[in-house]
């Protein structure tokens, strides 16, 4: 096959010219920003995915058009490598350079990527594309597809799907069906079969009730949950809210519930302690919440899911008589209460890595069973080939190992999958006979708070030690340390977001009041030392801040 790179430039000039001179950066999960500036980035990512497939011998690469938890005007792109992982780290800079090059230099730049990486441009290339339900996603998906076509690659469009579904299709196709069928029906079938086999006819057990509210964030997750329910045999009673009638993620969804520590909009009146679930716009994150009989909001976040799952899996391994290594991976956002519980009560090795599932996934691969969750509800569990072989062999004689095999099928190992994670939590709670009170009683969270600070250039903040220590601006970390030392059980860190144009501040301390005060003190330090935009933050006890 002969390829004329002039076509790459011609397409760009005619249909996807670069319309912004502001540099874009591959962030925590790909490129993200205002949709009107992303057409050229999308087109170029179609080109990049085609080259990436060629260098990987024609294996399928995924391109997901979504801005996930961001507000409606934003969009973004996530690239999926052949094993369902996020794009290999060494290609992130290739992606950034390609996204920023001028149109007139595009042809020469693509030629350079090809020669630098010794890519056989005549070989076959396969790219799967999917999108969320934002109104600009179809336009941006077409740009990705045109990028593939410009380099004569094969493109398969899946339309509106969740991000984890696209990860699933990529792995299913690359393993020739061993992981499942690379279709929407194949995905539902695999997860529902595992869930219903595990549940059997025991729909309730002990304190566990078969009923929950599902906040779909007006995103893809709502649509797909409804599809799940159509295909399930009443094995789970779910009421779906925020189905798509409002704006995606606006006052709803996992990010809102976690960061604001409040129920989503549209909540029906439910009995105290009813289990409620929130997913984000592309359904790769999930958190649980409920309201107690005093009307207080209570959160069960990614840390809670991780500890519930780790505890369950450890117990299953004992019952299966298997000696496999298990580790839990968190980020700096993990609540100190959860880390203490994992290390001291569960006695599972726990690691801390920078934000972004790409980092957690990578670390989790070091264990036979790697459980990774960010506090925001993004995570999954991965089993090594060795672990799978041993569990399979054991299942010949041990009924618990048979259950564990179904659990593996229920988990979308490729990346965090809100619906798969939720079905897993439901399975575990049912098997333990637990309600949300039982689950919450396992350990106490320290009060915590996150703030977003607008600064002129968030890149002035650089960090080290899994983002727990701020390196620049010089003096900021010392100032934070000084402030933190005044608070009992105080901990705080700052880092630039990789998905929004803000600096994030995290604080936790012994009491809610102290946590708020610590967060605002640190927020003001960022504002003063890192070029804050607008007036300083004012503690909400005094007046409402414009920065949250």
Cβ proximity to ligand G16: between 51 and 470 the closer is 470
Contact 253/261 with Cβ under 8 angstroms?
no
Residue 280 assigned to a binding site: yes
126-131 and 60-65 strand pairing = parallel
Whether 68 sits among the annotated catalytic residues: the reply is: yes
Q: Which of 179, 145, 141, 188 is nearest to 160 (CA)?
A: 141
Residue 284 assigned to a binding site: yes
CB of 180 to ligand G16, least distance (A): 22
Residue 504 assigned to a binding site: yes
Contact 45/109 with Cβ under 8 angstroms?
no
Q: In 365-398, which ranges are continuous DSSP H helix?
A: 385-394
Return d(Cα 86, Cα 77) in angstroms, integer: 11
Cβ proximity to ligand G16: between 40 and 499 the closer is 499
Residue 298 assigned to a binding site: no
Q: What is the largest CA-CA distance in the chain?
A: 70
Contact 43/16 with Cβ under 8 angstroms?
yes
Cβ proximity to ligand G16: between 137 and 376 the closer is 376
Contact set with ligand G16 (CB under 6 A) = 28-29, 68-69, 280, 284-285, 355-357, 374, 376, 378, 497-500, 504
Residue 52 assigned to a binding site: no
The CA-atom distances, in angstroms, between 106 and each of 19, 46, 103, 194 are: 14, 13, 5, 47
CB of 285 to ligand G16, least distance (A): 5
Q: Which two tokens stand for residue 292?
A: 């107690």
CB of 255 to ligand G16, least distance (A): 7
Helix or strand holding residue 155 (H, E): strand 154-160
Cβ proximity to ligand G16: between 256 and 285 the closer is 285
DSSP E strands: which ranges in 431-524? 448-453, 462-464, 469-472, 491-496, 503-508
Cβ proximity to ligand G16: between 62 and 153 the closer is 62
Among 40, 53, 68, 431, the one annotated catalytic: 68
Residue corresponding to tokens 């640190």: 522
Return d(Cα 223, Cα 216) in angstroms, integer: 8
The CA-atom distances, in angstroms, between 377 and each of 104, 209, 405 are: 42, 22, 24
The size of the chain, in residues, is: 548
Cβ proximity to ligand G16: between 387 and 422 the closer is 422
CB of 351 to ligand G16, least distance (A): 15
Residue 377 assigned to a binding site: no
Cβ proximity to ligand G16: between 32 and 109 the closer is 32
Angle at 330 between CA 326 and CA 334, to 5 degrees: 130
CB of 502 to ligand G16, least distance (A): 8
Residue 266 assigned to a binding site: no
Contact 249/218 with Cβ under 8 angstroms?
yes
Contact 43/12 with Cβ under 8 angstroms?
yes
Q: Which of 246, 398, 248, 386 is nearest to 325 (CA)?
A: 386
CB of 68 to ligand G16, least distance (A): 3
Residue 499 assigned to a binding site: yes
Residue 374 assigned to a binding site: yes
Contact 255/285 with Cβ under 8 angstroms?
yes
Contact 281/164 with Cβ under 8 angstroms?
no
All residues at 6 or more sequence positions from 233 whose CB lies less than 8 Å from its CB, including other chains: 196
CB of 288 to ligand G16, least distance (A): 17
Residue 431 assigned to a binding site: no
The order of strands in the sheet holding 74-80 is 31-34, 74-80, 60-65, 126-131, 154-160
CB of 83 to ligand G16, least distance (A): 17
Residue 139 assigned to a binding site: no
Return d(Cα 169, Cα 132) in angstroms, integer: 15
CB of 530 to ligand G16, least distance (A): 16
Cβ proximity to ligand G16: between 289 and 487 the closer is 289
Cβ proximity to ligand G16: between 119 and 425 the closer is 425
Helix (H, G, I), strand (E, B) or coil at 29: coil
Q: Which of 521, 461, 472 is nearest to 492 (CA)?
A: 521
Helix or strand holding residue 299 (H, E): strand 297-300
Binding residues for Mg(2+): 68, 280, 282, 284
Binding-site annotation, residues: 68, 280, 282, 284, 374-376, 495-499, 504
Give the residue numbers marked as catalytic.
68
Annotated binding-site members for substrate? 374-376, 495-499, 504
């Amino acid at each position: 096959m002969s390829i004329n790179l002039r076509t790459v430039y011609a397409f760009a000039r005619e249909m996807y010219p670069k319309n912004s001179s502001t540099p874009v950066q591959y962030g925590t999960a790909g490129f993200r920003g205002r949709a009107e500036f992303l057409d050229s980035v999308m087109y170029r990512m179609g080109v990049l995915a085609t080259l990436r497939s060629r260098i990987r011998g024609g294996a399928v690469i995924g391109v997901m058009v979504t801005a996930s938890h961001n507000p409606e005007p934003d969009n973004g792109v996530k690239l999926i490598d052949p094993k369902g992982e996020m794009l290999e780290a060494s290609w992130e800079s290739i992606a950034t350079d390609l996204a920023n090059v001028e149109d007139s230099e595009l042809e020469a730049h693509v030629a350079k990527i090809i020669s630098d990486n010794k890519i056989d441009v005549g070989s076959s290339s396969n790219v799967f594309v999917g999108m969320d339900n934002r109104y600009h996603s179809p336009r941006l998906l077409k740009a990705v597809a045109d990028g593939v076509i410009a380099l004569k690659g094969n493109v398969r469009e899946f339309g509106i799907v969740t991000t984890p579904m696209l990860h699933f299709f990529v792995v299913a196709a690359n393993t020739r069906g061993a992981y499942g069928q690379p279709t929407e029906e194949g995905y539902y079938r695999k997860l529902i079969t595992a869930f219903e086999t595990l549940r059997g006819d025991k729909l309730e057990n002990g304190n566990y009730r078969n009923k929950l509210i599902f906040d779909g964030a007006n995103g893809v997750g709502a649509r797909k949950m409804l599809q799940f329910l159509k295909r399930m045999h009443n094995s789970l009673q779910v009421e779906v809210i925020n189905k798509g009638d409002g704006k995606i993620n606006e006052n709803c969804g996992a990010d809102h519930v976690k960061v604001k520590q409040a129920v989503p909009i549209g909540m029906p009146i439910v009995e105290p302690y009813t289990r409620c679930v929130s997913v984000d716009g592309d359904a790769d994150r999930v958190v649980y919440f409920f309201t107690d009989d005093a009307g207080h909001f209570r959160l069960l976040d990614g840390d809670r899911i991780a500890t519930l799952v780790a505890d369950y899996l450890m117990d299953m391994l004992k019952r299966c008589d298997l000696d496999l290594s298990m580790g839990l991976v968190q980020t700096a956002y993990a609540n100190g209460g959860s880390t203490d519980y994992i290390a001291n009560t569960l006695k599972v090795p726990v690691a801390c890595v920078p934000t972004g599932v790409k980092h957690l996934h990578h670390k989790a691969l070091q264990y036979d069973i790697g459980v990774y969750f960010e506090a925001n509800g993004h995570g999954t569990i991965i089993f090594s080939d060795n672990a799978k072989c041993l569990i399979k062999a054991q299942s010949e004689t041990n009924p618990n190992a048979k259950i564990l095999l179904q659990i593996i099928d229920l988990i979308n190992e490729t990346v965090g999958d809100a619906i798969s994670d939720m079905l897993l939590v439901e399975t575990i709670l049912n098997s333990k006979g637990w309600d949300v009170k039982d689950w919450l009683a396992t350990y106490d969270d320290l009060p915590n708070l996150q703030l977003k600070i607008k600064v002129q250039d968030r890149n002035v903040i650089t960090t080290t030690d899994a983002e727990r220590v701020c390196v620049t601006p010089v003096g900021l970390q010392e100032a934070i340390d000084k402030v933190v030392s005044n608070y009992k059980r105080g901990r705080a860190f700052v880092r630039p977001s990789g998905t929004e144009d803000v600096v994030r501040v995290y604080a936790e301390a012994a009491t809610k009041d102290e946590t708020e005060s610590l967060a605002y003190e640190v927020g003001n330090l960022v504002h003063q030392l890192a070029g804050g935009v607008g007036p300083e933050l004012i503690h909400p006890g005094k007046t409402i801040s414009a920065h949250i």
